[in-house]
Structure 1
């Protein structure tokens, strides 16, 4: 329409407002979580039994996304 001004949609990202340091720590934590989950999955059945875990427990943990941090709920 004549004389109508356009508008801009503003989309907030999940990281908007985070400092670079906080973002770096988040990425480092995600990397650590992935590494720990891969190490857990590589343990033998005997080692898992010593920890009181089953293969089902490990598989449940292994398939979780890297950003799903149980320590930050």
Structure 2
């Protein structure tokens, strides 16, 4: 007799794994958003000379600073 797993059993296992991974994904997103906020604050403080040294135009800076933190 051949043993097989039912699709319900596999679904429950993957659902449990998803629930366990949810706090980690949430934490990773929060950390990413914080890094974006910090880097955009730093970008906003750069003067035109430093922007030119980094190869960033004023238009590129404005485009980056106008994005919401989740993008």
TM range (shorter): 0.5 to 0.7
2:28 to 25, 30, 33: 25
Higher helix proportion, which one? Answer: 2
Q: Which of 32, 52, 60 is residue 57 of structure 1 equivalent to?
A: 60
After TM superposition, the score normalised by the length of structure 2 is: 0.66
Matched residue SS, 2:39: helix
Alignment TM-score, normalising by the size of structure 1: 0.65
- Runs (4+) of structure 1 moved beyond 3 Å? none
What is the rounded CA distance, in whole Å, between the counterparts of 1:34 and 1:57 in structure 2? Answer: 16
* Aligned positions, number: 53
The one of 39, 45, 49 aligned to 1:46: 49
Secondary structure at the counterpart of residue 19 of structure 1: helix
Q: What is the CA–CA distance in structure 1 between the aligned matches of 2:31 and 2:51, rounded to whole Å? A: 26
Larger Rg: 2
- The gaps in structure 1 that reach 5 residues or longer are 1-16, 69-73
CA RMSD, aligned part only? Answer: 1.6
